[in-house]
Structure 1
Amino acid sequence: MTVESPDVAVESMSEDDQLSSDLPDFDVDEQSTILEEDDCETTSMVIMSDDAGQVYAPPARIAARFYRDPKSRQYKSSAASSRRNSLSSIQSHTSTRSLRRTSSCQSNYIAQHLRRASIIEARKARLADRAAHAEKVRLRAATAKAAPRGDASASEERALAAQVAREKYLAKVAAACAEEVQRAKQKAQEMKAKKLEEEKQARLDMQERMADADRRRAEYKRNLSSRKTRRASEQEKKLADVSEGEDDSNQRLDEETAATRIQRAWRFRQRRSVVKAYADFDLSLDNIRERSFEDVGALLSETPIIQATTGVLRLLTLQDNVDTPSAQATRTFLSAYLVIVHPASVFSKNGAQEQHLMAKARELVELFESAMSTLAPWNRLTASSTRLQDLSQAYTTYGSAFDAWRAQDSSALVETMVASFVELDAIWQTVKDDTQGAVAEDYRTGIRDNQVMLLSKIRKLAGPDRADLLIKKAIRESRRRRVKRRSPAEVRPRAAAEIEAAETDTSVTLPIVAENTSQEAHQSEVDSQDNVRLNLARLFSPIPTNRVLTHELALDKDFRISSGAHSDIRDAINRELCDGMREGVERGMGTPWTVAMAQEIRAKLVHIVKPGNSMHNFIVEALDTDLIYRQCEQGIFSYANFFSFMANILPKLCAPFRDAQVKVLAEDLESNNGEDMGAMIEKLFRLLHFIDLLSLDYSNFLLMNAAPVLIRESAGYESRMFAADLASGAITLTCTNRWWRNASVNLLTEADRRDPEQVRNPADRPTAHHIYTRGLVDTIFGHGPLNVIDVPETLALDVERLCSTKQKALHMTTIGAILLVAKNMLKRDVRSPWKAEASRLWDLLSKEPPSETTSEEALASLASRAFGVLENAHNLPPSTKAALQSATSRVVTQASSQRFTDPVAKVLYSRLRSHVFSRVVAKTSSERVRAASGASEALATAGLPEFVTQVGEMVETLRKVAEVDWASHTPWYEQVAKEINEAGDA
């Protein structure tokens, strides 16, 4: 048996200790260790007392107990291998202390000592590592602290820049959020107002239903009491008759009672005959459902059934019992059967309006047949009042729905026929000038016959006046699209053949009324000729001033002078002159009037030809006033020769495009059928009118030649004229200063509202271009009529144009508000355009624009007709009718004062102004294209999808006005802006 030496035990224990050094730290019981060391020393002394150099090994069983195999303990933890930490190990150690006082104590002591030393060394190593790490951290911190801070200023600057950028971004976010919150509040207010309106409408409907129920209850009580009274009276009467019969069976009735009984019997017989006549036709839904559309239509169009149905409708109080024709109303009622049984043959489409009409027709027929089934002898063929009331309401509703459907269908049919009429006219315009072959002759008869047929149908559906208006308007638009712009050769007067464009001066000399140089006659005729001069001096030319001409040409290079209202005024004055001449001739003063008229005609004619020209000399010699005066005195002056001379000379003076007119006039002047002096004076009036047109053509010809030069010099010329007016004191810049200041304040207020943090970023501040555009748009969209003090002096020439643009904006807002309310009430899409209704309302407001001078009766009539447009186009329930009619009247009344307080109209007016400003303020071509491309969608979102074209024209007009005005008055605008800025800084 091999015994391990102490060295081997020590090595084994050392390996054990090395394994335990990797385990967690634990405290060693020092007291127990000391006790064990004492015991081991005592034991070793006992063992080694005999022989210090010899070690006695214990028996095998004891050695196996104390000297365990180290491999079995290699993978046990320190807590598992050492049991000294537990209470049981202490007790076991105490109980076996005497047994361990052997040589093994020496080995246990060494193992425990080595284990303790290794634990202490491990702790020291860990503490040393921690201390080294802490020192390293301290040194690094001290080094970083002692390092110089050379880039601190740059870091601070970056931090400040980051802070400024963050504040700016937060300001923009806050502004955007504020706008979103504002829109949300506005939407919430609109929804709240809408809900309140719906609640109010529901409350009104409930009140109407309650009132209707109360009325029916009262009617029922009244009928019940009357029935009870009648029954009681009949019983009393029967008893009285019985008693009287018993007393005197041969007693006769009085006349009043007999008449009452006879009338009652006669009325019953009449009712029975009416009901029987209608019942003989056996007209019901079940009976006619199997018949074809042609059979039912033929049956319902027969006169006997119409008469029988009319009698029944009058019996049921659906028609008045008067001697008036009611066949049309009866046909409308009978058409309900066709609508129900054959809707596919009646309707061209199956839309919402058609479905509504079918529902109302079915309801009417069902109530009618139910009422007819209750007619019996026991109730004297009389339906109850409640049933008659329901039937009357259904009859009225069906009539309204049928009229609306027929109006819509006839409108579509009228538009189609008008389009066909215009297309025929376009074909005729294409082939009428054919001179080779017989194309024009072949087409003439066919086109004429078809147009006559279409015209008769259109007049039958739309009425004569409206039919003529629609056809004229459609043909005018069609020909305007087809006819090209006249060439200069067509508008060039023949009398101006020797005038060259290079000789035209920038200041166009336009025709004016020449001074009268009448030949002095006898002293008795001087006073009469002075009166003639006073009358002739009232003639004036429609030609505007050179400044107005250059301004209009700068706005429109194709501008031409139009007669307009001046033509009516000149015609009125010419008519007054002709009447004065007629009265003078009757008083024997024909000579001075004839000379004065000849002199006036000569002055007009020689003014449109070049002096020294052969035509000029010919006119002067032919219309010599001295010669005419002598001829009149001698009585040999001939009006026929005078008119013949004018008929020959006018074609040589007029422009080619006037050939047709001058031909008609020449034929009229040369015609001589023994006419009296009154007819001659009437010819003279037409001659004066045509000569005025020739003068206007000559002026337009001169203007056309001078247009390029005038357009090029327009800005400088207008600037010089404006400076001259300022220097002379004729005008000041007071209105311009106030106008610019108001626009600047409005834009600055909006900029501050978008900048709650008051960052005042220069990029967000308004420029001069923005201020000018805002002032121009505010002038158009301001509240109230446009006054002269609201327009700056620089825009004095555009006041009429601005007023016209403002009127168009008011029309758009008025029509848009009416249509938007109608769409909301009818639950339609507000983005869908109602172009037909908008066009009719636009025509209505354009003919009779509401203003402050319009009377209340005229405004009420205008609102009623505007409501009629919507009523004819759409099927409106009774409650919707009342609400929409009230809204229409309110908006039209506010449009007359040009101050919208209605929420819908006010919002639309504001949205339209914002849209126009965003498009006018666009400066570059890309911005304009982007604004124009999204205009349709923006207007649809704003609630004005019907006015894309009108808004585009308005924007183009304002943009052109802004460009011309800014180019002409830039120095003064810069001066005003500088003064206002300096005043603000001070």
Structure 2
Amino acid sequence: MPLSDGQNSDSDSSRFSESAASSSDSDYSRQSFTSDSSSKSNSPASTSPPKVVTFDEMMAAARNLSNLTLAHEIAVNENFCLERIEHPQNSLTGRVKQIVHKAFWDRLEEDLNEDPPEYEHAIKLFEEIKEILLSFLNPGANRMRSQICEVLDTDLIRQQAEHDALDIQSLANYVISTMGKLCAPVRDADVNQLKATGNIVELLRQIFHVLDLMTMDMVNFTIQSLRPHLQRNLVDYERAKFQDILEETPSALDLTTEWIRESIHDELASISHETSGADGISKPNLRPTLVLTNSFLKLLQWDYQQKSIPETLMTDEGRLQELSEKLNQLKVIACISLITSNLLGAAIEGIPDFVEKQKRSSFVLLEGMNKKTFDLKEALSAIGIQTCTEISRSLTERGFPPLSKEVQANLVGQLCNIVEEDNPIRSLIDKRIHLYMRSLLSSPCFQKSMPTIPGGLTVIQTEIETIGSQFANIVNLNKQVYGPFYANIFRKLLFSEAATSSVEAEPSTN
């Protein structure tokens, strides 16, 4: 974002880092962090005596969570930016805002139309405009800073108003000219459009609108400038911030502890079943790294609508939910392809790119399948009918009889049965995807080749490799940040609650 008067990106970055950490943090936290922080209210009670938390400690913990979440989002999401909230005009908030704003600008117009004009409200607006323009300047822009302070000097403007010598249009023209020097290129058209506004009240109103846009541009420019620094220091920063939260809110790991405890119990039950001898006294060996992998895999089948996510994963909750929803769709598509291939393998051999065509049409018909109102069985029936129509048409064109009604009904019925939890094809695909994701998380971080795709998943190979890579990146970063916290939880659970297990290794923190 080019700025005038010798401004540069390095100075901009340092100048705006403090403002971005204050104003944008609070705005963003109000929009995005409510669900994260509220989920702690569902955490299980601690076994230790409750600690009295003061209001200041609670607010400090909330600020730390907001800063942590915002920093994480900026660092890991290359497309992250802040946007202005526009409330729908027919909403209560939108109507109230519209009424209040109209009343304000109507009052200003009445003041300026009086004889003699009343300028006090206009003077306060120019004072606010001056402060906004000054906020865009870096510390080295002394010449422009002096000019803005001189032209928009409140005392001088008030003296001119008292002597009936105030030229509001001239001041507005100076403001527009200065905005043109400071704005990003994307705002040039908005600033130029101000010059064509004849009514002074409407002009001031539009000036504030464009200044709001410029302020958001500057915040997002600051975010881009901070991103490389945050990426380099994200692990240490997140770990330190979470430690601050933990000190202020001792229950901040309750959900995480329960998440790991469930996986420990599952693993102990599995190992005990496999290793117990005739006397039934064999003691299983528990590997925390394996338990942690199983814990992360549960996130791919998590009920994000009903169940609170572990505190250490709140910063990635949106991404994990999105991956889970995409994976559910891919599971259904893999089931569709496998069932069709098993029933009609010979019939589809002569249809060019049939598998890809069915896959593309299935994606369209399964769009939104994770919504509660979505009828999956109806969508699968439509996919079955469409598949039968396509195959029958191809058979007819090649001189073969179309699919019989019995075969068509069989295909549609088997596709519709995918919705059943105990459907064998669905269970098979679930197991193979779980196997693939486990092998992906178990691979060394430096290993660049992807694990072999299990049979039945070839049709979704590209998509599942993408999801697997994204999931592995989230997990590996999370383990780097929160590894020491996980290790402490394992020590607490294994040595105080699982005396029958022995620890072979600590969870990796790298």
Q: TM-score, normalised by structure 1?
A: 0.38
Aligned position for 2:59: none
Q: Which amino acid aligns with 1:770?
A: L
How far residue 961 of structure 1 moved from its aligned partner, in angstroms, is: 2.1
Q: 1:736 aligns with which of 256, 262, 283?
A: 256
Q: 1:769 aligns with which of 285, 289, 295?
A: 289
State the number of aligned residues. Answer: 438
Q: Which amino acid aligns with 2:301?
A: F
SS at match of 1:510: helix
Give deviations 1:274-332, integer Å, cap 9, x for gaps: xxxxxxxxxxxxxxxxxxxxxxxxxxxxxxxxxxxxxxxxxxxxxxxxxxxxxxxxxxx
Contact (CA 8 Å) 1:813, 1:909: kept in 2 or not?
Answer: yes
Asked if residue 818 in structure 1 is aligned to residue 336 in structure 2, the reply is yes
How far residue 542 of structure 1 moved from its aligned partner, in angstroms, is: 7.5
Aligned position for 1:922: 443
Query: Using a 3 Å threshold, how does the CA distance of structure 1 residues 734 and 951 change in structure 2: closer, same or farther?
Result: same
1:774-813 superposed matches below 5 A: 774-782=294-302, 784-785=303-304, 787-789=306-308, 791-813=309-331
Separation in 2 of the partners of 1:725 and 1:512? 18
Aligned position for 1:906: 427
Aligned position for 1:687: 210
Aligned position for 1:653: 182
Contact (CA 8 Å) 1:595, 1:629: kept in 2 or not?
Answer: yes
1:534-573 superposed matches below 5 A: 545-552=66-73, 555=76, 559=78, 561-563=80-82, 566-569=83-86
How far residue 775 of structure 1 moved from its aligned partner, in angstroms, is: 0.5
Separation in 2 of the partners of 1:903 and 1:690? 55
Aligned position for 1:841: 362
Identity of aligned residues (%): 17
SS at match of 2:457: coil
Aligned position for 2:61: none
Separation in 1 of the partners of 2:6 and 2:278? 68
Higher CA-based Rg: 1
1:595-674 superposed matches below 5 A: 598=126, 600-611=128-139, 613=141, 614-624=143-153, 638=168, 642=172, 644-655=173-184, 659=185, 661-672=186-197
Aligned position for 2:219: 696
Query: Using a 3 Å threshold, how does the CA distance of structure 1 residues 582 and 818 change in structure 2: closer, same or farther?
Result: same
5+ residue gaps, structure 1, are 1-490, 515-536
Contact (CA 8 Å) 1:811, 1:845: kept in 2 or not?
Answer: yes
Aligned position for 2:52: none
Query: Using a 3 Å threshold, how does the CA distance of structure 1 residues 809 and 590 change in structure 2: closer, same or farther?
Result: farther
SS at match of 1:732: helix
Contact (CA 8 Å) 1:747, 1:771: kept in 2 or not?
Answer: yes
How far residue 920 of structure 1 moved from its aligned partner, in angstroms, is: 1.4
Query: Using a 3 Å threshold, how does the CA distance of structure 1 residues 540 and 759 change in structure 2: closer, same or farther?
Result: closer
Separation in 1 of the partners of 2:435 and 2:465? 14
1:243-642 superposed matches below 5 A: 491=1, 493=3, 497=7, 500=10, 504=14, 508-510=18-20, 545-552=66-73, 555=76, 559=78, 561-563=80-82, 566-569=83-86, 580-586=100-106, 598=126, 600-611=128-139, 613=141, 614-624=143-153, 638=168, 642=172
Separation in 1 of the partners of 2:136 and 2:251? 36
Contact (CA 8 Å) 2:108, 2:122: kept in 1 or not?
Answer: no
Give deviations 1:107-126, integer Å, cap 9, x for gaps: xxxxxxxxxxxxxxxxxxxx
Q: Which amino acid aligns with 2:262?
A: N
1:133-152 superposed matches below 5 A: none
Contact (CA 8 Å) 2:127, 2:152: kept in 1 or not?
Answer: yes
Asked if residue 984 in structure 1 is aligned to residue 498 in structure 2, the reply is yes
Query: Using a 3 Å threshold, how does the CA distance of structure 1 residues 577 and 826 change in structure 2: closer, same or farther?
Result: same
Separation in 1 of the partners of 2:121 and 2:347? 70
Query: Using a 3 Å threshold, how does the CA distance of structure 1 residues 630 and 863 change in structure 2: closer, same or farther?
Result: farther
Separation in 2 of the partners of 1:539 and 1:744? 36
Asked if residue 958 in structure 1 is aligned to residue 477 in structure 2, the reply is no
Query: Using a 3 Å threshold, how does the CA distance of structure 1 residues 498 and 695 change in structure 2: closer, same or farther?
Result: closer
Contact (CA 8 Å) 2:176, 2:194: kept in 1 or not?
Answer: yes
How far residue 598 of structure 1 moved from its aligned partner, in angstroms, is: 4.7
- Output the aligned Cα RMSD: 4.6
Separation in 2 of the partners of 1:677 and 1:881? 70
Q: Which amino acid aligns with 1:567?
A: R
How far residue 677 of structure 1 moved from its aligned partner, in angstroms, is: 6.0
Query: Greater relative contact order: 1 or 2 (C-alpha under 8 angstroms, separation 6 or more)?
Result: 2
Separation in 1 of the partners of 2:27 and 2:150? 27
Query: Using a 3 Å threshold, how does the CA distance of structure 1 residues 669 and 829 change in structure 2: closer, same or farther?
Result: farther
Q: Which amino acid aligns with 2:446?
A: S
Contact (CA 8 Å) 1:773, 1:917: kept in 2 or not?
Answer: yes
Aligned position for 2:481: 968
Contact (CA 8 Å) 2:336, 2:415: kept in 1 or not?
Answer: yes
Contact (CA 8 Å) 1:605, 1:691: kept in 2 or not?
Answer: no
Query: Using a 3 Å threshold, how does the CA distance of structure 1 residues 595 and 980 change in structure 2: closer, same or farther?
Result: same
Q: 1:944 aligns with which of 457, 475, 484?
A: 457
Separation in 2 of the partners of 1:766 and 1:850? 36
Q: Which amino acid aligns with 1:794?
A: T
How far residue 506 of structure 1 moved from its aligned partner, in angstroms, is: 12
How far residue 670 of structure 1 moved from its aligned partner, in angstroms, is: 2.0
Contact (CA 8 Å) 1:769, 1:921: kept in 2 or not?
Answer: no
SS at match of 1:497: coil
Separation in 1 of the partners of 2:206 and 2:95? 11
Query: Using a 3 Å threshold, how does the CA distance of structure 1 residues 785 and 886 change in structure 2: closer, same or farther?
Result: farther
Query: Using a 3 Å threshold, how does the CA distance of structure 1 residues 641 and 780 change in structure 2: closer, same or farther?
Result: same
Aligned position for 2:51: none
1:38-187 superposed matches below 5 A: none
SS at match of 1:690: helix
Separation in 2 of the partners of 1:496 and 1:837? 58
Give deviations 1:421-450, integer Å, cap 9, x for gaps: xxxxxxxxxxxxxxxxxxxxxxxxxxxxxx
How far residue 978 of structure 1 moved from its aligned partner, in angstroms, is: 1.7
Query: Using a 3 Å threshold, how does the CA distance of structure 1 residues 505 and 944 change in structure 2: closer, same or farther?
Result: farther
Separation in 2 of the partners of 1:541 and 1:860? 39
Separation in 2 of the partners of 1:600 and 1:510? 20
Contact (CA 8 Å) 2:297, 2:438: kept in 1 or not?
Answer: yes
5+ residue gaps, structure 2, are 34-65, 112-119, 394-402, 501-510
Contact (CA 8 Å) 2:256, 2:311: kept in 1 or not?
Answer: yes
How far residue 865 of structure 1 moved from its aligned partner, in angstroms, is: 6.1
How far residue 618 of structure 1 moved from its aligned partner, in angstroms, is: 3.5
Q: Which amino acid aligns with 2:195?
A: E
Query: Using a 3 Å threshold, how does the CA distance of structure 1 residues 666 and 719 change in structure 2: closer, same or farther?
Result: closer
Q: Which amino acid aligns with 1:775?
A: S
Separation in 2 of the partners of 1:492 and 1:921? 47
Query: Using a 3 Å threshold, how does the CA distance of structure 1 residues 727 and 652 change in structure 2: closer, same or farther?
Result: same
Aligned position for 2:37: none
Query: Using a 3 Å threshold, how does the CA distance of structure 1 residues 586 and 868 change in structure 2: closer, same or farther?
Result: farther
How far residue 908 of structure 1 moved from its aligned partner, in angstroms, is: 1.6
Separation in 1 of the partners of 2:23 and 2:169? 24
SS at match of 1:806: helix
